[in-house]
Chains A and B, each alone.
Chain A
Amino acid sequence: QKEVEQDPGPLSVPEGAIVSLNCTYSNSAFQYFMWYRQYSRKGPELLMYTYSSGNKEDGRFTAQVDKSSKYISLFIRDSQPSDSATYLCAMRPNAGNMLTFGGGTRLMVKP
């Protein structure tokens, strides 16, 4: 079993929809949680970063962490065609440099 699981999709939604992307993990030591967005033929870029449990909002994006369930989510409100990309969750424990990534979910937002 992988340490971080993510549904690969593709997830296809109409423009304006609310999108929910999720990851589950097995290592209870993970404390820092990130979401990266990767456009086709580009490297990933950091989208959201949270520490421990709770919510964080940035514009149309909300990251949510539920450590008791070992479950993290990224919500995108009013989705746009420009949000079409692969979204990767990543996480790490308190100490160390190494991130553990999920496999990524491909999102397609149709006009």
Chain B
Amino acid sequence: DVKVTQSSRYLVKRTGEKVFLECVQDMDHENMFWYRQDPGLGLRLIYFSYDVKMKEKGDIPEGYSVSREKKERFSLILESASTNQTSMYLCASKVTDTQYFGPGTRLTVL
């Protein structure tokens, strides 16, 4: 079974803090993704990575950056958290056309 794990289920941060969200997959997948999920808006792609150190912007990259130093790990960074980044963050890894999602991190920025 593919396993995608995310570092925290719930996170509360203050405005202006630097926030790291980590994602690890155990299936040697090349492609990994970060989404945010908001009510009524579905999943929106923030960034994806198709190999180590390779990344591409998704639909809503503003305010976020990513890091992929090892194949199994893909990190999402909020350089200076803002209240409009309060959301559910989902990581996924992909083989062929199947994306395997982690359980999500619910981030609240106060």
Counting chain B residues whose Cβ lies within 8 A of the other chain, the interface size class is 20 to 34
Residues of B near A60 (CB, < 8 A) are none
Per DSSP, chain A at the interface is loop
Q: Which residues of B from 80 to 110 have beta carbons under 8 Å from A?
A: 90, 92, 94, 97-104
Q: How many A-B residue pairs have CB under 8 A?
A: 51
* Contact indicator B31/A4 (Cβ below 8 Å): no
Per DSSP, chain B at the interface is strand
How far apart are A29's CB and chain B's nearest CB, in angstroms? 16
- A residues adjacent to B (C-beta < 8 A): 4, 6, 8, 32, 34, 41-46, 49, 88, 90, 92, 97-99, 101-104
List 9 contacting pairs A-B, 8 Å CB cutoff, sorted by A. Answer: A42-B104, A43-B101, A43-B102, A44-B99, A97-B48, A98-B48, A98-B59, A99-B99, A104-B42
